Amino acid sequence: MPIAATMSLGYSLLYASFAYLLPGYQTFKAIEKKGSDDVREWACYWTVLATFYCLQPSIDLVLAWLPFYSVFKLGFLLGLWYPSTKWGQVVYAKAFRPLVASYEADIDKLYMDSRTKLSDMMGQQASTLRVQAGNLSGRATMMLKDIQQKTMNRANKSAARAPAGDTAVGHGLHSE
């Protein structure tokens, strides 16, 4: 079992490096380099990677039984951004862009409708939470006042029963 765990950790580190860490650093360099077309290339990469990430559970379900599937997946991720292949730009230009462009109006409408519904729902939830917080605060205040009243009553009873000269009365130090 330790070998499998070690292999899994190693794969996870490679995957994170190939998919996120190295491309993230290259994106940083492209953004910081003024007048560079590299930013567009990296935007293509991140768009394709995000799409791949969303489709990955389905792809894994269909292809995970293939021998060396994990190695091929790492190779694909590396090929998406590697300078001599730049498959990310190819996949973006040949598959992603045409597909999304043909549904762009529908996607924009869905996005705006979803955004409006989510905003309305969040507003309703915020109102409900404000009311609940107010109720909870009111109950907590009442409980604290009740505790304070009971404590004062006990202290007064103890003071009435205590012999003269007992200094601990009224300070909560006197036991009944």
Mean pLDDT, the chain, as a whole number? 85
Is residue 1's pLDDT more than 60? Answer: no
3-state helix, strand, coil in the chain (%, to 5): 80, 0, 20
Q: At what angle do helices 69-81 and 22-32 cross, to 10 degrees?
A: 10
**For the segment 88-123, what is each residue's pLDDT rounded down to a tens digit?**
999 999 999 999 999 999 999 998 998 888 888 888
Average pLDDT on 30-56 reads 89
Those residues whose C-beta lies under 8 Å from the C-beta of residue 73, and which sit 6 or more positions away, are 15
- Are 77 and 69 in contact by the 8 Å Cβ rule? The answer is no
Q: Residue 2 above 80 pLDDT?
A: no
* CA atoms in the 13 A half-sphere facing the CB of 169: 14
Q: Percentage of residues in the chain with pLDDT exceeding 90? A: 32
This prediction has a pTM of: 0.61
CA–CA separation, 166 and 176 (whole Å): 13
Q: Mean pLDDT across the stretch 28-55? A: 89
- With a pLDDT cut of 70, the percent of the chain lying above it is 91
pLDDT bin (cut points 50, 70, 90) of residue 165 is low
For the stretch 64-82, pLDDT in tens is 999 999 889 889 988 998 8
